[in-house]
Structure 1
Amino acid sequence: MYEHLKSMGIKHYEQIERYLLRSEADFDILKVYYHKQKGDLFAKSEKFKFPRQKKTLMVDSGTHKFRNVTEISPALRQVVAELDKITQQETRSKDAKKEILHELKHLEKVVSNKIAELEARIENL
């Protein structure tokens, strides 16, 4: 399913927690963090280096001045897209859990208020 991650040697997609992408000189550094396993002091991570793609752009067409620029490589873009899918799925499930807990707390308040109201009515009889 995640062919680009698989080609990098990443096999346990379900254990990916987050990733960090930064640039250093002519390289992009991708660091993939995994969920902390029981008994581990630190969460595991892997670091990958990708060379930046070099391009020459024309700055001024009148004087024919060119400038060398670098940008993220197409391979890294595809890897980041796959990582986004994985990390967004996890975020959505965490958001769903928070929403359900919020609804449960609200229901608990409503029920306790209704019980208090009924007990007060019983006392008045």
Structure 2
Amino acid sequence: MFVNLIGLGIQDPLKIERYSLRQEAHKDVLKIYFRKQKGELFAKSVKFKYPRQVKNVLINNASHQYKQITEINRNLTLVIDELNAITKPAKPTDVDIKQKILSDLRHLEKVVSSKIAEIEADLEKLS
């Protein structure tokens, strides 16, 4: 099921808790963290380094100027897709969205009320 993760030597991909990705010089560093097992003081993690792919991109057609850019390794994108499938939280439900909208609306209401009170106070000072 998780062909790329198994290809990296990860025996049980479903034990993955999270991951981080950062860039160092001309490499992308992927660090995968596993769920802490009973009796372990720290959760285990593994680190993989992927060289960035170098491409020459035409920036000025008239003078034929090229610029060298780097981009993420294709194999790494496949691994990240699998990691997202494992670690990505469930999509928010309609109830969650409704609660967020109501919360935002209440906050906006307080901000507007406060601003109206501030403007009214400024008007009173002018009278």
Normalised by the length of structure 1, the TM-score is 0.70
How many positions carry a matched residue from both structures?
Answer: 94
Q: CA deviation at 1:63?
A: 1.0
Normalised by the length of structure 2, the TM-score is 0.69
Structure 1 runs of 4+ off > 4 angstroms? none
Residue in 2 that maps onto 1:92: 90
What 5-or-longer segments of structure 1 have no aligned partner? 100-125
Kindly, what percent of the aligned residue pairs are identical? Answer: 45
Instruction: Name the CA distance, whole Å, in 2 between partners of 1:87 and 1:12.
Output: 14
Residue in 1 that maps onto 2:11: 11
RMSD between superposed Cα atoms in Å: 1.8
Q: CA deviation at 1:53?
A: 0.6
Instruction: Name the CA distance, whole Å, in 2 between partners of 1:46 and 1:7.
Output: 14
Secondary structure at the aligned position of 2:90 is classed as: helix
Q: Which amino acid aligns with 1:49?
A: K
Residue in 2 that maps onto 1:65: 65
Secondary structure at the aligned position of 1:92 is classed as: coil
Residue in 2 that maps onto 1:41: 41
Q: Deviations over 1:67-103 (max 9, x none)?
A: 1000001100000000000012xx339x89xx8xxxx
What 5-or-longer segments of structure 2 have no aligned partner? 97-127
